[in-house]
Amino acid sequence: MAAAYLDPNLNHTPSSSTKTHLSSGMERSPGAMERVLKVFHYFESNSEPTTWASIIRHGDATDVWGIIQKIVDSHKVKNVACYGLRLSHLQSEEVHWLHPDMGVSNVREKFELSHAPEEWKYELRIRYLPKGFLNQFTEDKPTLNFFYQQVKNDYMVEIADQVDQEIALKLGCLEIRRSYWEMRGNALDKKSNYEVLEKDVGLKRFFPKSLLDSVKAKNLRKMIQQTFRQYANLNREESILKFFEILSPVYRFDKECFKCALGSSWIISVELAIGPEEGISYLTDKGSNLTHLADFHQVQTIQYSTSEDKDRKGVLQMKIAGAPEPLTVTAPSLTIAENMADLIDGYCRLVNGATQSFIIRPQKEGERALPSIPKLANNEKQGIRSHTVSVSETDDYAEIIDEEDTYTMPSKSYGIDEARDYEIQRERIELGRCIGEGQFGDVHQGVYVTPENPAMAVAIKTCKNCTSDSVREKFLQEALTMRQFDHPHIVKLIGVITENPVWIIMELCTLGELRSFLQVRKYNLDLASLILYAYQLSTALAYLESKRFVHRDIAARNVLVSSTDCVKLGDFGLSRYMEDSTYYKASKGKLPIKWMAPESINFRRFTSASDVWMFGVCMWEILMHGIKPFQGVKNNDVIGRIENGERLPMPPNCPPTLYSLMTKCWAYDPSRRPRFTELKAQLNTILEEEKLQQEERMRMESRRQVTVSWDSGGSDEAPPKPSRPGYPSPRSSEGFYPSPQHMVQPNHYQDSGSLDLRGMGQVLPAHLMEERLIRQQQEMEEDQRWLEKEERFLKPDVRLSRGSIDREDGSLQGPASNQHIYQPVGKPDHSAPPKKPPRPGAPSHLGSLASLNSPVDSYNEGVKIQPQEISPPPTANLDRSNDKVYENVTGLVKAVIEMSSRIQPAPPEEYVPMVKEVGLALRTLLATVDETIPVLPTSTHREIEMAQKLLNSDLAELINKMKLAQQYVMTSLQQEYKKQMLTAAHALAVDAKNLLDVIDQARLKSIGQSRPH
């Protein structure tokens, strides 16, 4: 047997010549016109089934078996002995099964004498089936899929128009289920999904023409929908086996039948049946039962010849073990006798596990006198291959180009030779440290030395396993795509090195992937910067849209950050040119399900509209600072949620206009999604609006800081608390030590080490705080009532849809419409603004009780947020015996400590009891304070009441964070909200200490007033 190898220059043929290839079994190329052919097969790829084929170069010594083995080996087939090669004449019914020992060159010379080369079609098929072949094929997935495609094609061509309508419907729906196995059982009930199937894919792919012509379109749709639901729960393999089960009674695909005669002199006309279960049997008429003649293991030799009479019929003789005379069969022609001999010989070799043929025949044209060349060991093959440059140097090797999952570029046919246009010298590249991983290998930082720029920083993609030309070509495909683009927000190709090891050299974006950048810099990036990134990406994608490219993998991980105000779209490994088609259909392979549009998940259909959907998800990632979509949801469940109308939630601080634009990108019907040109214009408007608002906020903040009075008399008193949105800022603050969550602008405060804590007992004028706390008091009363409810009302809805948003009374609200839009994630209430978390690694200005300082891991990769320990201010030097306020403050702090120690490992259902304990401790404290107030000076009452309201506000914030932690259970946001629960609880404890200080100062004032002057 001669070996075979891949030739990349033949793998991609110009699209304009595709149709001519379909009808040609033999292809011609300059310099080797007689040695190039195309072998069609049923290994599934991304093109139409009629074009599944491999281009083959062969030499004079190449035999049929060598070609068969090379094709099936490239698909990792186990049952190699089941395959055979068939030669068919397209203008007639003439069929020849080519024996594995036949030489390919001799076969071509023999048959091209009778018909032109383009009239012949070579076809790889499964012909020899073992007993229980379906069970055996389930362990060999490539063979099972190949056999299914072969049988389905034969059914559609030969008998589909004659079968019963119900059977045709079932078989067609099973093929839909198998092809689009990720599609939900009720997906075809949606009009847009059915229209994709009907208009874009085509119903004729699944159902015979007779059915489509005889049933009205409306009735046909209902029939298909009803039948499809029957198979909604089947996976791909189950769909295949069910297909065989329904088809087998009407079409025997597991055996071949030949009309012939038994004997040579006294002839009986019969139908000879040959198959794995029947062995060699015959039928005398349709109503009779099979009569068994012999099993394959009984066959000892096979001979065929031409009869001597004028009809020149074919005669097949088999020597059967134990039989007194050979079994003789007379066929209508020698060709049929040869095909029968090849079939029986294949079964005999399969059953006996033999490689030697059982056919005994004289040497004839097209057949080899010597046995097949023994198989070479792997090292021998590699050695020969390394010295084989082209067919002209040796005729002993066949080069096979597998066309599975190939792709045609917009320009002329391309391969590695075209990449050489961008070839650069390896000596000019200095390879640096590894900065990431790609599909084919690592990505390194490096330097490209040129006369113009002796130290140009570049990124270098390497290919680990590019020893074969096919892998090398797939790796270089990204470079061939990138070289066509010139845009400020698309990563630019600098050059390639096509010799092993193969490298792609691109411009270096020094700040790395956008997702990691967003996670690390989340506290330094304002909203305008995030919108700017989305806008820049929209310009890049509008550019791709204008050039008729689809990216297919738009996600934050594939966007690179060149500078803090410039991002660039990269990773074009999945990009495809649309050519004259409106969509690209992907085949097998890994695809980013959670970013994909529903039509891409269901039908593997990719268009500019599906890119728009992915861009909407990418915008959501950006606004969420790099959090991946559908956290905690399995890939298989994503399409179900989308079909139910669920969408990703609105990110915190996201402008409503921007989220509205995202939801337009997520329209289920692709035709209703905006184009990238529209998105670019709308994002530009949103960006300009945000910049104006940002400038206005800065002006207001500047004015506020100028008017703030720090009337401290030269002492180191704490500054006033920053104002909350919608409330005036007090000019001075006396007597309050702000808790961590209320310190929105830490730069307004002195360093904690220099604070004079003795001044914390002074009194803040009450009338300046009253107005800003009125709304907090209302919220406190509502949350206090909520806390007393039963614990059962807070069952989290993991689907996160707006149809199940919790009401204040704790009950679940029913869906308001068919399409659920998620509620905003942690969207701040106007009366309780979100608290700014501490920056990782920055010095903290947050006060903390020493016992509350348990470190909490951030959900960001590699980022830890750990509150610093600052001792609380000392209490007044008073007698604490029978001091109920002091005891209850201590009790509240203990409840907070207990909750903090238990919150991390606790499941969501245990949050309510823990928060309830804190709430009850706070209620007891406030009741004690109410009892204490009457004995304190009247001038201090308002200050004490404001401190109480502040505690109620803290409790409301803790309850709000608990709700969010429960709502976003099983996502990375859950840990973030747990941390925010700890921060809120810590603030509650610190403000309880502040209340105690206020009461102590009131007591001291009361004592001072009672002393005689």
In the block, tokens 């089934």 appear at 49
Instruction: Spell out the CATH class of 512-691.
Output: mainly alpha
- Stated as kind and residue range, the H or E segment containing 210 is helix 209-214
d(CA 888, CA 894): 10
The answer to whether domain 256-352 has CATH 2.30.29.30 is yes
Q: Is 711 a catalytic residue?
A: no
- The dotted CATH code for 36-134 is 3.10.20.90
Is omega for the bond preceding 501 within 30 degrees of 0, making it cis?
yes
CATH number of this structure's domain 418-507:
3.30.200.20
- Residue 244: both structure tokens together: 């065989």
In this prediction, residue 877 has a pLDDT band, given cuts at 50, 70 and 90, of low
Could you tell me the CATH superfamily of domain 884-1008?
Nucleotidyltransferases  domain 2 (1.20.120.330)
Average pLDDT of the chain, as a whole number: 75
Q: Give the range with max mean pLDDT: 177-186, 367-376, 747-756.
A: 177-186
Q: What is the pLDDT of residues 184-210, one digit of tens each?
A: 888 888 888 898 888 888 899 999 999
Matching fold, domains 36-134 and 160-248: no
pLDDT for the residue 144: 94
pLDDT reading at 597 higher than 90: yes
User: Is 961 flagged in the annotation as binding?
Assistant: no
> Which pLDDT tens digit goes with each residue over 495-523?
888 888 888 898 998 898 999 999 999 88
In the prediction, which pLDDT does 379 show?
A: 37
Token output for 924 = 């007891």
Residue 177: left (phi > 0), alpha (psi -120 to 50), or beta?
A: alpha
The set of long-range contacts for 926-934, using a CB threshold of 8 Å and a minimum separation of 24, is: 926/951, 926/952, 928/884, 928/885, 928/888, 929/885, 929/995, 929/999, 931/884, 932/884, 932/885, 932/999
Contact 64, 102 (CB under 8 A): yes
In the chain, domain spans: 36-134, 160-248, 256-352, 418-507, 512-691, 884-1008
Please count the residues of the chain.
1013
Q: For 290-320, how does the pLDDT look when each residue is reduced to its tens digit (9 = 90+)?
A: 888 999 999 999 999 888 777 788 899 999 9
Residue 488 pLDDT = 93
Look at 515-529, 804-818, 891-905 and tell me which has the smallest mean pLDDT. Answer: 804-818
Q: Which of 400-414, 484-498, 573-587 is predicted least confidently?
A: 400-414
Second-level CATH architecture of 160-248: Up-down Bundle (1.20)
The pLDDT, as a whole number, for residue 287 is 64
Query: Does the pLDDT at position 343 exceed 90?
Result: yes
Q: Residue 143 pLDDT more than 90?
A: yes
Residue 387 is predicted with a pLDDT of 30
Candidates 553, 611, 783, 806; catalytic one = 553
Mean pLDDT of 419-432: 79
- DSSP-derived secondary structure for 672-714: GSPPHHHHHHHHHHHHHHHHHHHHHHHHHHHHHHHH-----TT
